[in-house]
């Protein structure tokens, strides 16, 4: 049997021609489009104002690769971790992170990850496959529905910081953002979206050439090649020199500031030399740095520094006029924090 086309691969024009083939009234096409993108149904049968024959036609002739929510865990701090099941039986995770000012959806871009950052639980899983654009979209739509249900508010921010390296699934990530920002779909502002990369220089240049309007974050974790390569083997082929050149180019083209993510590890990247290297890097182009509290991942030797060291590190950066923010991890008790997503829940 020939593979059926995914219904969400259809453009509005495609749907119009399908509807015309069936001699149905043309406004049905817009209705179907709205069900798919504006109302975000995940079953053709939920398109309740369509005639049954029309629903049957789309059910029989197209596939619908919707995500299902398999399990939700709620942390004592309100963070909710979602385990989603894909149409072909894979599991991925997304997180709803509530703070006093924001409702953030942290979403995955791949099933597992091909990179092997030493401190990360996802990296230990290996990469199974890329997520399709509509599977990435579904995570946002489902987490948004939960936010509305619990808080009576839509999500305010989206971060591509869950499982996977977004820039190694470039096309699907860009296409998911197209629909997340589409006025006819989720209508989020690109300025509310952050894509976080472990650092693929070539793809950062591509983002600049594609005139990306969302925010870019680089998981830096060390401003020194030797240290960074030890933590993140991707640095061997994408060293700091190449990343800095790519970021300079990105800023030149987009005029958008960069965010550096920096998980602070005891006795690894929390020294005076690290402060100096970071300060130098942050002075190149407009940027801010998020210093992130580490959560222990079983099977690694990484630890977080004690509170005093943590505070001293931040104070030294502030003294150097670096734009620094502290990110305390949330959802620790349910393994929903940074670097902990590994389908354990």
Rounded distance between C-alpha atoms, residue 36 and residue 33, angstroms: 5
Q: CA distances (Å), 244 to each of 86, 201, 310, in order? A: 36, 8, 26
Residue 218 near residue 243, CB atoms below 8 Å: yes
Closer by beta carbon to ligand SF4, 24 or else 225: 225
Closer by beta carbon to ligand SF4, 116 or else 320: 116
Q: Which residues carry out catalysis?
A: 93, 338
Closer by beta carbon to ligand SF4, 40 or else 340: 340
Closer by beta carbon to ligand SF4, 86 or else 235: 235
Long-range contacts (CB closer than 8 Å, 24 or more residues apart) made by 101-105:
101/156, 102/156, 102/157, 103/147, 103/151, 103/153, 103/154, 103/155, 103/156, 103/157, 104/155, 104/156, 104/157, 104/158, 104/159, 105/139, 105/140, 105/143, 105/144, 105/147, 105/155, 105/157, 105/158, 105/159
For residue 250, the minimal CB distance to ligand SF4 (Å) is 19
Rounded distance between C-alpha atoms, residue 112 and residue 163, angstroms: 6
For residue 207, the minimal CB distance to ligand SF4 (Å) is 16
Rounded to 10 degrees, the C-alpha dihedral 173/178/180/182 comes to: 180
Interface positions with ligand SF4 (CB under 6 A): 113, 115-117, 120, 122-123, 163-165, 198, 339
For residue 63, the minimal CB distance to ligand SF4 (Å) is 28
Closer by beta carbon to ligand SF4, 122 or else 269: 122
For residue 162, the minimal CB distance to ligand SF4 (Å) is 8
For residue 131, the minimal CB distance to ligand SF4 (Å) is 13
């Amino acid at each position: 049997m020939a593979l059926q086309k995914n219904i969400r691969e259809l453009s509005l024009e495609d749907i119009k021609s399908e509807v015309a083939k069936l001699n149905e009234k043309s406004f049905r096409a817009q209705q179907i489009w709205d069900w798919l993108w504006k109302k975000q149904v995940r079953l053709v049968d939920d398109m309740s104002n369509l005639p049954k024959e029309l629903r049957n036609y789309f059910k029989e002739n197209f596939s619908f690769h919707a995500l299902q929510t398999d399990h939700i865990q709620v942390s004592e701090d309100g963070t909710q971790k979602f385990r989603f099941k894909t149409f072909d039986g894979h599991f991925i995770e997304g997180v709803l992170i509530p703070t006093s000012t924001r409702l953030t959806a942290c979403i995955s871009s791949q099933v597992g990850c091909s990179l092997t950052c030493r401190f990360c639980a996802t990296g230990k899983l290996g990469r199974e496959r890329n997520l399709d654009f509509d599977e990435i979209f579904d995570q946002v739509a489902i987490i948004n529905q939960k936010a509305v249900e619990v808080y009576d508010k839509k999500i305010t921010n989206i971060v591509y910081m869950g499982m996977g390296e977004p820039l190694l699934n470039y096309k699907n990530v860009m296409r998911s953002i197209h629909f997340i920002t589409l006025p006819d779909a989720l209508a989020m502002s690109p300025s509310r979206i952050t894509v976080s990369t472990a650092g693929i220089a070539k793809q950062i240049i591509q983002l600049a050439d594609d005139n990306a309007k969302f925010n870019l974050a680089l998981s830096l974790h060390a401003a020194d090649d030797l240290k960074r390569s030890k933590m993140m083997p991707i640095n061997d082929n994408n060293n700091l020199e190449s990343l800095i050149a790519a970021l300079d180019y990105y800023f030149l083209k987009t005029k958008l500031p960069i965010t550096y993510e920096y998980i602070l590890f005891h006795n690894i990247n929390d020294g005076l030399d690290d402060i100096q290297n970071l300060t130098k890097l942050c002075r190149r182009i407009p940027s801010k740095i998020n210093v992130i509290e580490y959560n222990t991942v079983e099977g690694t030797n990484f630890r977080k520094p004690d509170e005093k060291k943590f505070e001293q590190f931040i104070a030294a950066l502030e003294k150097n006029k670096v734009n620094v923010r502290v990110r305390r991890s949330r959802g620790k008790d349910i393994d929903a924090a940074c670097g902990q997503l590994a389908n354990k829940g």
